[in-house]
A = this chain, B = another copy of it.
Amino acid sequence: MSQFDRRSFLKAGAVVSVATATSALSTVATATEEGVAATSKAATGVTKTLARYLVAARYEDLPANVRKEGTRTLLNWVGVAVGGSHHETVDRAVAALKPFSGPRQAGLLGRTERFDIMNAAFINGVSSHIFDFDDTHLKTIIHPAGPVVSAILALSEYRPISGKDFLNALVLGVETECRIGNAVYPNHYDVGWHITGTAGVFGAAAAAGKILGLSEQQMVWALGLAASQPVGLRESFGSMNKSFNPGRAASNGLFAAILASKDYTSSEGMIEAKRGWANAISTKQDYREITEGLGQRYEAALNTYKPFACGIVIHPAIDAAIQLRNENHLTADQIESINLKVHPLVIELTGKKTPQIGLEGKFSVYHSVAVAIIEGAAGERQYSDRAVRDSNVIALRDRVVATIDPAIKPEQVDMTITLKDGRKLQKYIQHAIGSLEVPMSDKQLEAKFLSLADGVIPAAQARKLLETCWGVERLGSAAAIAKAGVKKF
């Protein structure tokens, strides 16, 4: 064949209702563009099974621990979104999109502007990932709340919904994205996809679709339209494009659900079909992760929250430092030296001895330990330019020594502080705070929340917002969350 190859020649020429016209095609289905995806190598029913579950699942079905974790997921996410809301990344997104936004349907957390729900979902999603301080599903490194809560927070201001139904949608969205992530992780992530954006779009579509009251058929279509819009590549990490990804996953998922609600169709098995999402996007597909134990085991119960605004490789050391500080009422001037026995990765990843700017501080175990001793925290402000240039922090940082110990695992640390009076204080961390084994307490989540909100919204508003999140199940209208989280003037 000449210029056009076999594929183009075989290409059929219309939107074809395949079911009505496939008999003559079936033997060459794999060679036609319109071709019915051959199912011989693919699973069947995955998308439908998931959709059926999503449509049927009720708030009343959620176990208490799942409801609680969903509430903590909400609270943590609202805090980080408020905290990030005035970063220049968000300012640029707002400036770019303002001329094109629709009706002022939904608020931006921590800000005064209002946008249509899809643009609001996008921007809140960006805000919430700015500090990379949001929640983590550790099995997949998905940040579950960004795509899901961004979408339904905006939608809740447009479509009235109770707090109970909001929480149910949140849990179902998180469940959807984490299960789909499990099915393709790690291969999918290893090749370069940012799994928060690629799996997240399903979570956003599922949660928004639940709020919109989609039928099972519509939910299948919403998941199919979501499958058509994966977001994000790891190459973009280090740029504003990283925060873009959960935001765009949120707006894409919402877009999918809204179209499906008006019977805009997709195929029936977009997740699992031969030329569907999982086969196109990953070399591993374990569909049992999606369909088994729905309503019985909850990935949404496995969410975790970062206590410290840096990579978790340093978290054991920071945890040890803060515990010793608080238990002994330590001040920097008492300390002669701080010795850490660490896993080699701590040095490899965070061995920067003299960070010059705040961001570099996140790659310095020395700075992290010193500032944690002095300020009792390791949040965003402990990684500001101010913090890494603080003379007291620098003086203490220079007295921190980290030594590789083959017996120490990455999630562990062994810290010994030698005081000027000769005493030695020792702390061994088996699992750092924020891990599944030692989750952040509600109080610690509150402290993180209030610290992030500090300087963005008034303290009284932050406190009220916190209480609104804790009380989500009692809200008559979930729109109260967004209303409590926007800046008033």
Contact = CB atoms under 8 A, between A and B. Distances in A.
B436 A275 contact: no
A103 B103 contact: no
B191 A24 contact: no
A91 to B, nearest CB: 9
A20 B240 contact: no
Nearest to A197: B228
B275 A191 contact: yes
B242 A233 contact: no
Given A33-B234, A37-B234, A270-B236, A13 B306 contact: yes
A221 B93 CA distance: 13
A7 interface: yes
Contacts of A89: 15, 264
A35 B350 CA distance: 13
A485 interface: no
A12 B349 contact: yes
Interface in A94-119: 95-97, 99-103, 105, 116-118
A79 to B, nearest CB: 15
Interface in A270-286: 270, 273-277, 279-280
A488 interface: no
Contact of A274 (B5, B192, B431): B192
Contact of A133 (B9, B13, B193, B238): B13
Given A10-B313, A197-B228, A241-B267, 5 more contacts: A1-B409, A96-B262, A97-B258, A102-B116, A239-B266
29 contacts: A2-B411, A4-B435, A5-B139, A8-B312, A9-B312, A12-B310, A13-B308, A13-B310, A15-B242, A20-B357, A20-B359, A24-B349, A24-B351, A33-B234, A34-B237, A89-B264, A92-B263, A191-B279, A197-B228, A224-B235, A228-B231, A230-B230, A233-B277, A234-B275, A235-B270, A235-B277, A237-B267, A238-B267, A239-B265
Q: What 7 pairs between A and B have smallest CB-CB spacing?
A: A192-B275, A18-B238, A12-B311, A192-B280, A4-B138, A96-B262, A241-B266
